[in-house]
Amino acid sequence: MTKLEKFLAIAGFFGFVILMPHLLVIFEISEPQKFLNQYLGSLADPSVLLLVGSCLILLAIIFGGGETIGATFLGLFMGFVLLSTSVEVGFMLWLKNLMSQTLLTSNFHLNYVVGISTILLGLALSYIPRISFKALSILILLVPMLFIGVSQAAGLFQ
């Protein structure tokens, strides 16, 4: 692993750390978000943190490790779609409005948690050297949506 890859892996890890304050707010631990709001002001808005964190993770994906880049891109894509429904991202408001109209995806806190898990799943699957794109698509795109659907139908995480 070169120095650039190490640096970008650390940047990707920092991207996940940036996503954590809003996740903690979902679990009713709001002190880190209040701390960031106090010292960073509008830069601590969850939408800004989501965009910055996603960009850092994307840099780590493009220039970093992993055997298959398809898994990491699918994970980041699906994760960003789910995460953007939980926070106010201006160019994704149409999707949030659309997803709020369906029972399947109307629990935005669950979408955030599953979105972060989907990114991690994509990164984990990228280290499997011989996995088909069809299997990746099923695991990264369908399994999280099935989990959200079953959770919503069973009334979990309300």
Query: pLDDT value at position 100?
Result: 79
Q: Are 54 and 15 in contact (CB under 8 A)?
A: yes
Residue 89 is predicted with a pLDDT of 80
The segments of the chain whose pLDDT lies below 70 read 1, 64-66
What was the pLDDT predicted at 131?
Answer: 83
What pLDDT, on the 0 to 100 scale, is given for residue 66? 65
Query: What is residue 115's predicted lDDT score, i.e. its pLDDT?
Result: 92
Listed residue (18, 13, 79) closest to 47, CA to CA = 18
C-beta of residue 85 within 8 angstroms of C-beta of residue 111: yes
Query: What is residue 116's predicted lDDT score, i.e. its pLDDT?
Result: 93
- Distance from C-alpha of 118 to C-alpha of 52, rounded to nearest angstrom: 18
Q: In whole angstroms, what is the distance from residue 64 CA to residue 79 CA?
A: 18
pTM: 0.85
Nearest to 113 by CA among 22, 1, 14, 34: 22
